[in-house]
Amino acid sequence: MNAEHLDPATVEIVRRRLEAIAEEMQAVMLRSAVSPIVREANDASASLFLPDGTLIAQSVSLPLLLGALMPAVARMVREFPVAEMRPGDVLLMNDPYDGGTHIPDVSLMVPVFAEGRVIALAGAIVHHQDLGGMTPGSLPTTATEIFQEGLRLPPLRWRRDGVIDAQVARIIALNTRTPDALFWDLDAQIACCDLAAARLEELAGRHGAGPLTAMMAELVRRAEAATRAAIRAIPDGSWTYEDALDNDGVELDRPVPIRVRVTVAGDEMRFDFTGTAPQVRGPVNAAPAGVMAGCFFALRAITGPNIPNNGGCARPLEVILPEGSLLNPQMPAALNARTGTVKLVTNAILGALAGALPDRIPAANSGCSTVMALSGRRPDGSAWVVTEVLSGGSGGSLLGPGVNGVSTDVGNTMNLPVEAMETDAPVRVHHLRVRRGSGGTGRHPGGAGIDREYEVLRGPLTLTFRGERHSHAARGSAGGRDGRLAEAWVIRADGAREEVRSKLTTVLNTGDRLRMGTAGAGGWGTPT
C-alpha cells in the first residue's frame, strides 16, 4: 500500500496505539519482576520493532536502555533471520562486544506473527542483579578485562516453539549468584513481549497485516522527515565541548577526557568524538551501543517531543567513534561502569549545542548516576544482591531552576525506597534528603544532589560503589556557577574514616556506615 493511499487519521491512531502497547509492556514487566532495581527503580525498558529491526515505538522509560535495545535487536535479527522464526520463539543476548552495553543488561526479543508471517518484533531489556564476575552484581570497579565482569551471552535462542532450551538455562544458572531472581526477571521480560504480540495481533486483525505494515513504515518516514526539518531550524555550524571522568577505577589520579564536536549542516547532524581518551585499563569504557543511546537521546531532546519516537529519527545523524577509544574499545577492555561515561557523553553533546541554541539548552546536569551494589549471604547460605542508583540534580535553564535529586538525561531510574532497601538488605538508612546548596548558583540555580547514609546491621557485606563528579564539577552556563562536587565516606565502626574517590570495592562489617552526597548541577545565568 502506497503512502498516499493511507488515511492520515488512521495512521495517527495506529501510532498512538503502538505507543500504548509499548507502555503496557513496560508496566507488565515492572509489575512482574522481582529484583528491586527493576520493580522499584524501573531499570528496564520495552520497545516495538519492524521485522528488519527498525524501531517503531518505545515505552517512556530509561533512554540508555531504550537506545541500547536498538542495536541488540538488529544483531539478533542478523543472527536469526526473520524467515526462520516460529511462534513461541524467544531470543536473547548481552555481549557488549556484539550489540550489547554491559553484561548485566540482557536484551530479549519475541517475533510477532499475523496472517502467517512476522509483522513486528517485541523487545525488552533489563538490568539483572548478577551474571557472575569477580564481584556480586557484575559491576567490579577494578576490572581490567571483560572476562572479569561476568557471563557473556551471544545472540541465542532461549525458547523454541514455547520450550526453553534446558542446556542454555543450566549454563546461565551456573554463572549467577542469584539464579532464582534472574530467571524470574527473564520471565517478566518474556511476559511483556508475549503481551505485545497479542496486542499487535489484535491490531493486525483490525486493519490487516499489510495495511498495518504500511502504516508502520509511514511512521518511520514521517519521523525522519520531521527530524530533518527540526535540524534545519538549527543554525549551520560546528561547536565543541569537553568534560572528564574522575578516573577509570584503576588509575585513581588520572582523569579521562571526553571531547565532542557537533556539526550541523542543512538537515543532517554529526557528533564527532575524535580527541576523546583512548580506551583505559579500568571499566569505564563504553561499548558503541551505549554511546549511541546517549547520542539518540541528545538528538531527540533538541528536535522536540511531537515527532514519532522511532528509528526514522536517527537517520539524519552521523556519529564518529574512533576505534580503540574510550567510546569504541577493543577486546578485551572492561566496560561494566559505562553509565557515567554515557551520561557525560550526553552532557557534552548538549553542552556543545548550547553554542547554537543558548536559550534552549540547560546548564550541565549533575552528570552522575551513582551505582551502589550491596551483597552478602542469608542465614541459609543463599546469596543476595541489591543495587541502587542514586541521582544528582538537573541543570538550571532559561525557563527556571533545576530539579533536586532527579535522574537526568539517559538515566530515568526511580529512587529505591528506604523501605525496600531495608527489606532486601540488612542495613538501616539513617537519612535520605536533599543536599542543600549543592546546585550551582545563578539566575536560575542548578538542582541539588542528595545525601544518604547507610549502616550495616549484619555484616560482612561486599560494597561496590561507582560514582562520578568527585573531581570535575557540572559546569554552569550563561554566567551560572558550577555545581558542588560529589563526596562519599566509609565510616568504620571504630570511627575511622575512609574517603571514597568515586569508585571503590570493599567489605563493610557490622556497624560500618556509608555516607554519600551526590553532585549538584550547574546554574544558569549570572547570579542576581
Task: Read off the pLDDT of residues 49-98 as tens digits, 9 standing for 90 and up.
Answer: 999 999 999 999 999 999 999 999 999 999 999 999 999 999 999 999 99
d(CA 47, CA 19): 9
Question: Does residue 245 lie in a domain region?
Answer: no
Report the DSSP beta bridge partners of residue 503: 466
Question: Does residue 326 lie in a domain region?
Answer: no
Question: Does residue 210 lie in a domain region?
Answer: yes
Number of compact structural domains in the chain: 2
The secondary structure of 373-424 as a DSSP string is EEEEE-TTS-EEEEEEEE-B-PPPBTTBPPPSSB--TT--PPPPPHHHHHHH
Question: Does residue 244 lie in a domain region?
Answer: no
Please list, in sequence order, all residues whose beta carbon lies within 8 angstroms of the beta carbon of residue 34, skipping any fewer than 6 positions away: 180, 181, 184, 185, 188
- In whole angstroms, how far apart are CA 526 and each of 122, 432, 444, 523? 48, 31, 9, 9
| pLDDT tens, position by position, 407-455 | 899 887 888 889 989 998 999 999 999 999 999 999 999 999 999 999 9
Please list, in sequence order, all residues whose beta carbon lies within 8 angstroms of the beta carbon of residue 132, skipping any fewer than 6 positions away: 103, 138, 150, 151, 175, 176, 177
Q: Is residue 375 within 8 Å of 388, Cβ to Cβ? A: no
d(CA 86, CA 160): 8
Peptide bond into 322 cis (omega under 30): no
Write phi, then psi, for 422 (nearest 5 degrees). -75, -20
pTM flag (> 0.85)? yes
d(CA 373, CA 22): 29
Question: Does residue 184 lie in a domain region?
Answer: yes
Report the DSSP beta bridge partners of residue 157: 91
Q: Is residue 58 within 8 Å of 22, Cβ to Cβ? A: yes
Question: Does residue 34 lie in a domain region?
Answer: yes
Question: Does residue 313 lie in a domain region?
Answer: no
pLDDT of residue 1: 55
Domain boundary among 224, 251, 273: 224
d(CA 495, CA 490): 10
pLDDT of residue 397: 96
Low-confidence ranges of the chain (pLDDT < 70): 1-4
pLDDT of residue 3: 58
What is the grid cell recorded at 171? 549454563
Domain boundary among 204, 224, 244: 224
Say if residue 217 is exposed, middle or buried (CB neighbours under 10 Å; 0-12, 13-18, 19+).
Answer: middle
Residue 264, classed as helix, strand or coil, is: strand
Range of the domain at 401: 362-528
Domain boundary among 224, 248, 266: 224
pLDDT of residue 4: 60
Is the same domain home to 220 and 366? no
- In whole angstroms, how far apart are CA 364 and each of 212, 434, 501? 42, 19, 22
